[in-house]
Amino acid sequence: MTDSGLEYERVERQMASADIESSGAEVHGILCGLICTGREDAQARWFGELFTEAQATDLLVRECAESLKVLHDETLAAVQGPGLGFTPFLPDEEKPLKLRAQAVADWCQGFLYGIGVAGLPSGHQFSAETQDALNSLTEITRMDLNQLNGAEEDEEALMEVTEFIWVAAMLVHSEMVADETERS
């Protein structure tokens, strides 16, 4: 759950109505990847990945785009703000563990994709620490959901993984901001 007023399930219904087949978590991960790499045009690039020009007149697509713009604005403000950064957009904690775990894996997949489409400067190398974090995100996308049985330790592990993905995103962001500062 984000700190926003956006409800995860409502946004997913809007996305389905707009023919977006990705989960809300994956779509938010893509956005975070773009924002954390410092893309000034993150929203335009994000929308370019999600929507076609032909969809622009569709009322359901416009409604979805309005909700996603709110998600973008809140995420950008949280990442760039003075606080602890953003909260990954995930289903509420009352939802079944497997559904939430799948959303975390989707978020990681989206985040890695967002970094990929961000178009990093040629020859860019992340630090060893950030590279390790990105490798861990890749491993999270391969999580075996069938191993989860809803036990307390699974809940705790998912909470730890969710905290880790936030740390990984903030590592990418702080490194890219430092790189940008050095280039200016």
Please tell me the predicted confidence (pLDDT) of residue 141.
Answer: 96
Q: What pLDDT is recorded for position 3?
A: 46
Give the Cα separation of 33 and 39 in Å (integer). Answer: 9
Successive 10-residue mean pLDDT values, the chain, 184 residues: 70 94 96 94 95 85 95 93 82 93 97 94 89 96 88 92 94 83 58
Domain definitions of the chain by residue range:
8-183
Task: Report pLDDT for 180.
Answer: 64
Q: Domain spanning 8-183 has what CATH number?
A: 1.20.120.740
**How many residues belong to the chain?**
184
Pairwise CA distance, residues 127 & 145, whole Å: 30
Find all residues with CB under 8 Å of 119, minimum gap 6, and list them.
39
Which residue's entry shows tokens 């997949």? 109
